[in-house]
Structure 1
């Protein structure tokens, strides 16, 4: 299980966009987002193999958001 902070998310549409992009990564089995509107939301990913942070960052960026440091 991998956990990442995501900044800039404010609503359910944001959650859906990030979930869709991250779910498309190879090996991803499930994605959960705990939304903190206007703060740092938590992205939890279950995958068959370790995920590259850069790949996750690119997927989140594609959805219009960014990983928090």
Structure 2
């Protein structure tokens, strides 16, 4: 399982000053929203289809915020 490493990856992104450059989604059968929050993920997705829609929403928000700042 990759569960023990999810927080390690997120913490490493923070240590390297890269956390704000990436959207981190976690999910799958053994996980839940509480776990996602505990490891510092941006969102929990119950399956790959939800992850795709969630990623699209994050990208839309980023695009809109960049467009508003231009």
Q: Quick check: which one's helix share is greater?
A: 2
Q: Radius of gyration: which is bigger?
A: 2
From the two aligned structures, give the one with the greater strand fraction.
1
TM norm. shorter chain > 0.5: no
Please give the TM-score of this superposition, normalised by the length of structure 2.
Answer: 0.28
